[in-house]
Amino acid sequence: SAVISQKPSRDICQRGTSLTIQCQVDSQVTMMFWYRQQPGQSLTLIATANQGSEATYESGFVIDKFPISRPNLTFSTLTVSNMSPEDSSIYLCSVSDSPSGNTIYFGEGSWLTVV
């Protein structure tokens, strides 16, 4: 499986600021996704990162709050904008090399605390 690296791994952020999370994969992958895991909770898909075009967002997530880029087949960024304490979560980059989007692997996550 692909090796997924995320930066930062952990951060404490001030309310009202924005933070960009980077995701680097060691091989070209078909699909890249961003998930959120709130404290003690399950995982929820934020969006699919599309190479060279706008991301596809799930219900409840909007581009102004979570802008995403994917300039190539191995790299993506997620920005969490104008953060509030409710944004304290683990943000997980995930990838699939399957045309159907199955067999999804996750990175180690970026653990954000907003104070």
Q: What are phi and psi of 102, to 5 degrees?
A: -80, -175
Least distance from another protein to the Cβ atom of residue 30, Å: 9
Nearest to 24 by CA among 77, 67, 84: 77
68 vs 107, which CB is nearer to another protein?
107
14 vs 53, which CB is nearer to another protein?
53
DSSP state at residue 69: E
Least distance from another protein to the Cβ atom of residue 92, Å: 6
DSSP H helix total and E strand total for the chain: 0, 11
Least distance from another protein to the Cβ atom of residue 84, Å: 24
Cα–Cα distances (Å) from 41 to 6, 22, 38, 58, 88, in that order, read: 20, 23, 5, 18, 12
10 vs 15, which CB is nearer to another protein?
10
Sites of contact with another protein (CB under 8 A) = 1, 31, 33, 41-45, 48, 58, 90, 92, 94, 96, 100-109
Least distance from another protein to the Cβ atom of residue 11, Å: 15
Cβ–Cβ < 8 Å for 58, 47: yes
5 vs 82, which CB is nearer to another protein?
5
